[in-house]
C-alpha cells in the first residue's frame, strides 16, 4: 500500500520550500502527500514579502479531514504559523500513534523570520510528540541546545550544514547518546532553498514506508544531495532544488535497473555513436578507455575499451545492498564478489545469472550521475 504522509506546514509561492518542496519529495520517494497548510507566504528566491497565518481551527479541520478518511502512516511538521496552532497540533497528534518528524522552521533560506519568540517557545509541545526533530545549528541553539532538545524525549538529528568546513556532518542523538553520524563533501551551489523541508519530508516518507530511523535518514540525505546536484538554477537568489529530476538513482530497497556497461574497440567511434543517438556524455576518460552517458530518464550507459566483446554487464542498484546480498545468499544465489567499496565511489557486488551473464549489484547514490569528475 502506498505510504501516506500528512504534511503540516506553510505554503511557499515560489515553490522552493514549504508545502511545495514537501509534496515533491514525498511524491518522488513513492509516497502519497496530504497537507494541512498553516500559513500562506508571498516569497521567492530573494525573500519573504508577506505571511498570513491560517486560523488554528482551519489547520485542525484540515488534519481531521485527512485523518478521518485517508489516514496517515507518518506526519511531517514544518512552519507552524502561530503558538496557538503549535499547541493545538501537538494536542491533536497525541490521538495518533504514527511517527512524527518535526522540522522546527524559524528562518527562511533568504534570512526572513518565519517564527516569532512565542511560537518558538510553543515548539516544546510539538517536540514532546515528535519521533525525531531536524534542527540546523542556529535552530538547535534557539531551542536551548542539544541537551534541552533531547530532554523533550524525541530523537534529534543535528544538521551540520551551517558549520564551517568542506565536509557536512549530520549527527543523530537518541536517549542522550549519539547513535549515528553521516558526513559528505559540501556541495557548492546557490540553489539551497528548501533543503530542510526536503530532508524532513524524506525522513517522514521513509518512516511511513517502514524503514528504520537510520535508513530513512540516510536515504533522505541522499535525496537532498541529488536534488541539490539537479537544481535547475532558477531565480535571482537562493534558488529551488531539483527534486523532480532525482530519477532512477537506487534510493529504494528494491533494485533499480539504471546502468549498463558495453565493451568497445574504438573509444572515439563509440563516443561519437552514443552522442549521435542522443545520450549526454557525463564521463570522459580516454586514457582508461571509459566513457559514461546519461539518458533523458536518468539511466546511464558506459562503454569500456578492453571489455569482453559482445558482452554486457547490467547494474542493479539498491539502497540496502548488503542486506540484499545476504538475503540472496540465504536463498542459494552464489555471490562471486561480496559488497566492497571501489575507488570510483561505488559499493559493488558481482555475480552471474544462469546463462553466464555478468550482473553487478551496487549502490552509488550521487556518484553514478554526479561523480567528482563529471564533465
> For residue 171, what is its C-alpha cell?
549527527
- Our answer to whether residue 261 is catalytic in this structure is no
- Our answer to whether residue 14 is catalytic in this structure is no
- Our answer to whether residue 196 is catalytic in this structure is yes
Say which of 16, 196, 206, 242 is annotated catalytic.
Answer: 196
- Our answer to whether residue 167 is catalytic in this structure is no
- Our answer to whether residue 119 is catalytic in this structure is no
- C-alpha span between 62 and 82 (Å, rounded): 16
Say which of 31, 78, 194, 250 is annotated catalytic.
Answer: 194
Say which of 197, 205, 242, 360 is annotated catalytic.
Answer: 197
Say which of 56, 85, 109, 192 is annotated catalytic.
Answer: 192
Say which of 195, 198, 261, 300 is annotated catalytic.
Answer: 195
Half-sphere exposure (CA, 13 Å, Cβ side) for 200? Answer: 34
- Our answer to whether residue 159 is catalytic in this structure is yes
**Contact assessment for residue 127 and residue 133, using Cβ atoms and an 8 Å cutoff:** yes
**Contact assessment for residue 302 and residue 291, using Cβ atoms and an 8 Å cutoff:** yes
Q: Kindly list the catalytic residues.
A: 159, 192, 194-197
Amino acid at each position: 500500500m502506498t505510504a501516506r504522509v500528512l504534511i503540516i506546514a506553510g505554503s511557499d509561492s515560489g515553490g522552493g520550500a514549504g508545502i511545495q518542496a514537501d509534496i515533491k519529495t514525498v511524491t518522488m520517494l513513492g509516497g502519497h502527500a496530504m497537507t494541512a497548510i498553516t500559513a500562506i507566504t508571498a516569497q521567492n528566491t530573494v525573500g519573504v514579502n508577506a505571511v498570513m497565518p491560517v486560523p488554528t481551527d482551519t489547520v485542525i479541520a484540515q488534519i481531521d479531514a485527512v485523518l478521518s478518511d485517508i489516514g496517515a502512516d507518518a506526519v511531517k511538521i514544518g512552519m507552524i504559523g502561530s503558538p496557538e496552532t503549535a499547541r493545538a497540533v501537538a494536542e491533536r497528534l497525541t490521538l495518533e500513534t504514527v511517527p512524527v518528524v518535526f522540522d522546527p522552521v524559524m528562518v527562511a533560506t533568504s534570512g526572513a523570520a518565519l517564527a516569532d519568540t512565542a511560537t518558538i517557545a510553543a515548539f516544546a509541545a510539538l517536540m514532546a510528540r515528535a519521533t525525531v526533530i531536524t534542527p540546523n545549528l542556529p535552530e538547535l541553539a534557539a531551542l536551548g541546545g542539544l541537551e534541552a532538545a533531547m530532554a523533550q524525549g524525541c530523537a534529534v538529528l543535528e544538521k551540520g550544514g551551517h558549520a564551517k568546513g568542506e565536509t557536512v556532518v549530520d549527527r543523530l542523538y537518541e536517549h542522550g547518546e549519539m547513535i549515528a553520524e553521516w558526513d559528505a563533501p559540501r556541495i557548492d551551489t546557490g540553489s539551497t532553498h528548501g533543503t530542510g523541508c526536503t530532508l524532513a519530508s524524506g525522513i517522514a516518507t521513509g518512516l511511513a514506508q517502514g524503514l528504520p530511523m537510520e535508513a530513512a535518514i540516510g536515504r533522505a540525505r541522499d535525496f537532498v544531495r541529488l536534488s541539490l546536484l539537479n537544481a535547475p538554477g532558477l531565480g535571482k537568489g537562493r534558488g529551488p532544488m531539483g527534486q523532480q529530476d532525482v530519477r532512477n538513482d537506487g534510493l529504494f530497497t528494491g533494485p533499480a535497473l539504471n546502468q549498463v556497461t558495453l565493451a568497445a574497440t574504438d573509444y572515439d567511434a563509440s563516443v561519437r555513436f552514443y552522442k549521435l543517438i542522443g545520450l549526454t556524455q557525463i564521463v570522459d576518460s580516454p586514457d582508461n578507455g571509459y566513457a559514461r552517458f546519461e539518458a533523458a530518464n536518468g539511466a546511464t550507459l558506459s562503454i569500456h575499451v578492453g571489455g569482453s566483446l559482445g558482452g554486457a554487464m547490467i547494474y542493479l542498484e539498491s539502497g540496502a545492498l548488503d542486506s540484499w546480498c545476504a538475503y540472496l545468499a540465504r536463498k542459494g544465489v552464489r555471490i562471486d564478489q561480496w559488497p566492497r567499496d571501489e575507488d570510483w565511489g561505488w559499493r559493488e557486488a558481482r555475480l552471474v545469472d544462469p546463462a553466464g551473464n555478468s550482473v553487478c549489484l551496487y549502490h552509488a547514490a550521487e556518484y553514478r550521475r554526479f561523480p567528482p569528475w563529471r564533465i
